[in-house]
Amino acid sequence: MEIRELAENLGLDIEEFAEIFEIYKETTLSELEELKAALKAGDAQKVHEIAHSIKGASGNLGLDELFRLAKEIDDRARANSLVGLESLIQDFIERYKEVTQDFEKATANV
């Protein structure tokens, strides 16, 4: 992850981007737990709402791959189709972990 490029795209310095990313990280982690619970409950509307929120936050930060995955989850849930979402949510979680680890490494020297 090129943190400097992401920050510049938003018109922020690295410290400002880091603060926003920390909020994103905490919020998304909480929302992922809610997302898994909604999927387990079979609540497509709730899955859609949470995925839509994650999609928007990911897109706003320029996290394109996370945006794409969240959009796919959102689109399927909006169509009331929960089949295969467990695997897709797991893919999102794995990529989310990679992105947050990359971010930690990138900001360790900032």
pTM of the model: 0.92
- Domain assignment of residue 58, yes or no: yes
- The DSSP secondary-structure symbol of 37 reads H
Would you give the DSSP letter of residue 62?
T
- Max alpha carbon distance in the chain (Å)? 45
Q: pLDDT by residue (tens digit) across 13-63?
A: 989 999 999 999 999 999 999 999 999 999 999 999 999 999 999 999 999
User: Which range marks the domain in which residue 52 is found?
Assistant: 3-105
**110 domain residue, yes or no:** no
pLDDT digits (tens, 9 = 90+) for 59-90: 999 999 999 999 999 999 999 999 999 999 99
**Residue 67's CB: how many other CB atoms inside 10 A?**
18
The answer to whether residue 13 is domain-embedded is yes
Q: Is residue 71 part of a domain?
A: yes
Per the structure, the count of domains in the chain is 1
